[in-house]
Amino acid sequence: MDDMVIDQEMVQSQKKNTVMIVDDDALNIAALTQILENDYTLYVERDGFKAIELAKELLPDLILLDIVMPGIDGFEVLSRLKSIHETSEIPVVFITGLSNIQAEEQGLALGATDYIYKPFSTPIVKLRIRNQLQIVNQLRLINHLSITDTLTGLFNRRHFNTRLNYEWKRAIREKTLLSIVMVDVDNFKKYNDAYGHLQGDVVLKSIANIIKQQLLRATDMLARWGGEELAALLPVTDLPGAIIVAEKLRAAVEGHFFPYIDAPGSSQVTISLGVNCVAPWKYSNMKLFIDEADKALYQAKRLGKNRAEVAEGLSDKLPE
- Which member of 228, 229, 292, 309 is catalytic? 228
Beta strands in the chain (DSSP E): 18-22, 41-45, 62-66, 92-96, 114-117, 178-185, 221-226, 229-235, 271-278, 308-310
| Helix, strand or coil, per DSSP, at residue 206 | helix
CA distance 304 to 228: 18
228 is catalytic: yes
Q: How many other C-beta atoms can be found within 10 angstroms of the C-beta atom of residue 155?
A: 19
CA torsion angle 128 89 51 104 (round to 10): -50
Is the Cα torsion angle 103, 107, 113, 117 positive or negative in sign? negative
- 276 forms bridges with which residues in the sheet? 180
Q: How far is CA 3 from the centre of its chain?
A: 19
Q: How far is CA 313 from the centre of its chain?
A: 32
Which residues are catalytically annotated?
228
